[in-house]
Amino acid sequence: DIQMTQSPSSLSASVGDRVTITCRASQGIRNELGWYQQKPGKAPKCLIYDVSSLQSGVPSRFSGSGSGTEFTLTISSLQPEDFATYYCLQHQTLWTFGQGTKVEIK
Amino acid sequence: EVQLVESGGGLVKPGGSLRLSCAASGVTVKNAWMSWVRQAPGKGLEWVGRIRAETEGGTTDYAAPVKGRFTISRDDSTNTLYLEMKSLKTEDTGMYFCVYRPTWGQGTLVTVSS
């Protein structure tokens, strides 16, 4: 099974900050990685697919990068509506989610 | 636009059974790879299993904690995905989501408790 190690598990940031979240895969997953945002009581929402492609309707302050086993989600300028929990998902072999990163207001 | 609507959740005793449904629109479930994902209260996302498109065999895969107890199937006539759950345990409690990547349903809550 492919394991996904996501870090940090939580972070505190201010509006306007640049935020970076990382996922490391236990083996290469080509480009089969996405990033999801989840707010309390809601279903997850896809932000990024195929490592770096922005889902339709998602603001351009969100970006994804990486290759092989190391992947990053970056929020260039944190907005009030971005406070949420973020998950990576690999779908190269079955599916595995990262443990999640809770982004809180500093 | 793809829409997925889950139903069938509820309270069930340990050892009991439950069948969840996912009514799909905007996608033909027979032609899609579809998954179930769950989330225990206050916890992260956990993949449960998937079914391949009929053209790719229509076979299923399951996560280790549910293998042998859960079964994914579909009804092509109603365009509905199912998750049949048997021998339920307290640790199966959570919100269950139907997913046709990147679209998620709103989820249905399963509570396993005596």
pLDDT of the residue at B68: 98
The shortest CB-CB distance from A96 to any of B47, B103, B105 is to B47
Residue of B nearest to A55 (CA): B102
Sequence-ordered list of residues with C-beta below 8 angstroms from that of B67, at least 6 positions apart, any chain: none
Residue of B nearest to A46 (CA): B102
pLDDT of the residue at B43: 98
Residue A84, number of CB atoms within 10 A of its CB: 17
Most B CBs within 10 A among A86, A95, A96, hence the mutation to make, goes to A95
**Greatest Cα pair distance in chain B:** 42
Q: In A, which residues are within 8 Å of B35 by CB distance?
A: 95
Record: contact B37-A95, CB cut-off 8 A? yes
pLDDT of the residue at B14: 98
Report the alpha-carbon distance of residue A46 to residue A105 in Å, rounded.
22
pLDDT of the residue at B13: 98
Most A CBs within 10 A among B22, B36, B45, B98, hence the mutation to make, goes to B45
Residue A99, number of CB atoms within 10 A of its CB: 15
Q: Which two tokens stand for residue A25?
A: 């895969």
From chain A, which residues contact B within 8 Å (Cβ)?
34, 36, 38, 43-46, 49, 55, 87, 89, 91, 94-100
Start-to-end CA distance of chain A, whole Å, equals 36
pLDDT of the residue at A73: 98
Q: Which two tokens stand for residue A82?
A: 């971005």
Q: In B, which residues are within 8 Å of A97 by CB distance?
A: 37, 44-47
How many CA atoms, within 13 angstroms, populate the side-chain half-sphere of residue A76? 7
Grouped pLDDT means (10 residues each) for chain A, 106 residues: 97 97 97 97 98 98 97 97 97 97 94
Burial of A22 (0-12, 13-18, 19+ CB in 10 A): middle
pLDDT of the residue at A52: 98
Would you say the C-alpha torsion B15, B74, B93, B38 has a positive or negative sign?
positive
Q: Which two tokens stand for residue A20?
A: 């970076």
pLDDT of the residue at B45: 98
From chain B, which residues contact A within 8 Å (Cβ)?
35, 37, 44-47, 50, 61, 63, 97, 101-107
Read off the pLDDT of residues B59-103 as tens digits, 9 standing for 90 and up. 999 999 999 999 999 999 999 999 999 999 999 999 999 999 999
Report the alpha-carbon distance of residue B2 to residue A36 in Å, rounded.
17
Read off the pLDDT of residues B4-43 as tens digits, 9 standing for 90 and up. 999 999 999 999 999 999 999 999 999 999 999 999 999 9
Cis peptide before B65 (omega within 30 of 0): no
Q: Which two tokens stand for residue B50?
A: 């998937």
Report the alpha-carbon distance of residue B53 to residue B31 in Å, rounded.
5
Q: Chain A: give the shortest CA distance to residue B42, in Å.
A: 10
Report the alpha-carbon distance of residue B29 to residue B97 in Å, rounded.
15
Q: Which two tokens stand for residue B77?
A: 């006539």
Q: What confidence tier does B107 reach under pLDDT thresholds 50, 70, 90?
A: very high
The shortest CB-CB distance from A87 to any of B45, B63, B103 is to B45
